[in-house]
A = this chain, B = another copy of it.
């Protein structure tokens, strides 16, 4: 077998969710991320679940089946063993459910004060015969979202602000494997992206920029839960810039978009919906068609909205 040349893969300059290495007719897709979320435990998950889900999703939205993971854990001396076990079990539960093998890892202990609690870096490896990028959107595509936005961001932000998080608000941290599988079964995916740091605003802008198209978004189609609205109002922050950890944007020809939404809903993604469409313009842009009937540019958020969100 011939080893594919790396320069035919997707590398660091593409700033996609993951990178690819061509090997024969297949592509190895690989992604790495450090997780520093604070607090370590939150409604809907913990840093262990997040570290597994986050890197799996980066590989999944590139069209690959995740097969293996490596983890590198940096833990502060004196960190409770029981908490570390809980975190590791959360991570392993995701890997078991997803059929992803934990191939290897590393643990480093830092003296007190060296690191706040625990930082986990995961690297996920997947394989695919066809890579989905961020740059394939064309005019005529629709943008489908797999669920409500900003749950993870609102949860973490509320906890950091010292609010008690109760009721229905919890992180949406979940693998996107099934979502992308369904989308692949419906038709050609032109682009896919998981919504993480910078929220929907950031993800839409990245898709538009890399595909060099304009995306028109119907503001009132964006699914936001009542809980997220309430917490965002309390905290004075726009839910459009808050992270999700289990939601995908999928760009697909408009002729197949209704069917995709139907199939997603049937599979339990009840808030899946079409939020926008791709149009041609002289330059890339994301335009929000507001509830009031006007249009405004949806800017990419600058800087870090919430520190240690993931």
Contacts and interface: CB of A to CB of B under 8 A. Distances in A.
Interface of A: 1, 3, 6-7, 9-12, 16, 18-19, 21, 23-26, 28, 30-36, 38, 67-68, 70-74, 101-106, 108-111, 113-116, 119, 121, 123, 125, 127, 304, 307-308
Main secondary structure of the interface of A (DSSP, over half): strand
Contact of A115 (B24, B116, B123, B307): B116
Query: Ordered nearest first, which 9 A-B pairs have the shortest CB separation?
Result: A19-B103, A121-B121, A19-B104, A34-B72, A32-B70, A1-B24, A123-B123, A6-B101, A33-B106
Contacts of A21: 67-68, 103, 125
A308 B25 CA distance: 42
Contact of A103 (B11, B25, B308): B11
A307 B103 contact: no
A110 B30 contact: no
A6 B307 contact: no
Contacts of A24: 1, 23-24
Given A3-B127, A101-B11, A111-B307, A28 B32 contact: no
B32 A108 contact: no
A104 B11 CA distance: 6
Given A1-B24, A12-B102, A114-B115, A32 B67 contact: no
B1 A26 contact: yes
B36 A308 contact: no
Contact of A121 (B12, B31, B72): B72
B32 A123 contact: yes
6 contacts: A9-B103, A12-B103, A21-B67, A30-B125, A34-B119, A115-B115
A1 B25 contact: yes
